[in-house]
Amino acid sequence: MKKSGFLTALALTLAIPAGALGQAAFAGEVTAGDTHVIAAPYGGLVEDVSVRVGDVVNIGDPIAVLETTKSYAMTDGTISGVFAREGDSAEGIKERYGALVYIEPINRFTLACSTDKAYNSSENRYIHIGETVYLSCTKDGSHQGRGIVTSLDEEDEQKYTVEVTGGEFYMGETVNVYRDSEYARESLIGRGTVGRTAPVAVNGEGSVLRMHVRAGDLVERGELLFETVTGTLDGLYAPDTQVVSDVRGVVATVDGSNGTAVEKGAKIATIYPEDNLQVKMVISEADLMDVQVGDKVEIEFNWDTQSGKVFDGTVSSISYLNERDEEGVSQGAEYVAYLDFTPDETVRIGMTVVVYVQ
């Protein structure tokens, strides 16, 4: 507090009420007694910040939303296995079970095929990945359907894989593969054996925050399966993506902005708790002996001198170091005292006051 500010406050003593005569008057300012940190419960990207510096927040008010990594179904099918639970390490589940979630595709059968029995033409031995084919069992042609070529064997150009997209077949059944829906002999491109389509493994990294499916659920391609975040979760507890304030007070700083990455425990915002406001008062060297820790005081706000309203307070501490400004320059023989008091809804940080020491 500079000398000029102190002299201005002292000038206010000329208007001290009759009941305050004989009391020492000092300049003061409302300040925060401490600062409460709102930290990220896990690592991720800050998706949305809900507060600004100076806002008043209550317990439970949103501060920010942290973005998660979302994993989606890669195929239509049935969830056949859910090995991860909320709070689990994704890497640990993958190491133990191979995947967090398995999907049995809606197309249950796959053919392991070869062009070895294809009609003798060069075109029939050149298979195109993604092409639609038509299937008929070799026994009597009673089982028919269609499929799509899903892969080619890089080591053996005669081998390829067909996923059955329509029709019913038996496991182990031998099936002819045609390009022509009329099953013309000249369009025969090979033969395959019916097998089970392998379940699709879905994995993630970090820790599992939310599971959105259970075993037995039917899912469509693109449906959300689970969400993960970076880092570990305390006690395998999965908090919400929305970070909220756990105190009532005034937002002092906002340290996270939209799109920035934060680690677990990183500061997102700081709050000046409402229940720990104090008055900072500057005492000159000449008046230092007139103020003691434990003294009772009356606090009058400069904006409200006409109402006669005062707050009762107590001197809680007095510094033994000389007051200095922000550049570290001494302001003379002045010392800082802090006063405890109970504010009401009209009190805001930074308000100026006159303090009468009894």
For 8-12, 30-34, 353-357, which range has the lowest pLDDT when averaged over its residues? Answer: 8-12
CA atoms within 13 Å, Cβ hemisphere of 159: 6
The residue with tokens 């099936």 is 175
Over residues 44-77, the pLDDT tens digits come to 889 899 999 999 999 999 999 999 999 999 999 9
What DSSP line would sit under 217-254, residue for residue? -EE-TT-EEEEEEBS--GGG----SEEE-SS-EEEEEE
The residue with tokens 């940190």 is 37
Our measurement of the distance from residue 324's CA atom to the centroid of its chain's CA atoms, rounded to an integer in Å, reads 41
Over residues 297-347, the pLDDT tens digits come to 999 999 988 888 899 999 999 998 887 655 655 556 889 999 999 988 889
Asked if residue 219 lies in contact with residue 225, where contact means CB atoms within 8 angstroms, the answer is yes
Handedness of CA 106, 112, 113, 117 (dihedral sign): negative
Look at residues 309, 307, 304 and name the one whose alpha carbon lies nearest to residue 351.
304
**C-alpha dist (Å) from residue 26 to 90, 304, 309, 334:** 61, 16, 17, 12
Q: In what order do the strands lie in the sheet with 77-82?
A: 200-202, 101-105, 77-82, 218-219
- Higher-confidence residue: 9 or 156? 156
Over residues 223-282, the pLDDT tens digits come to 999 999 988 887 656 677 889 999 999 999 999 888 888 888 899 999 999 888 999 999
Q: In sequence order, which residues have a C-beta less than 8 Å from that of residue 62 and are 6 or more positions away?
A: 50, 51, 242, 243, 244
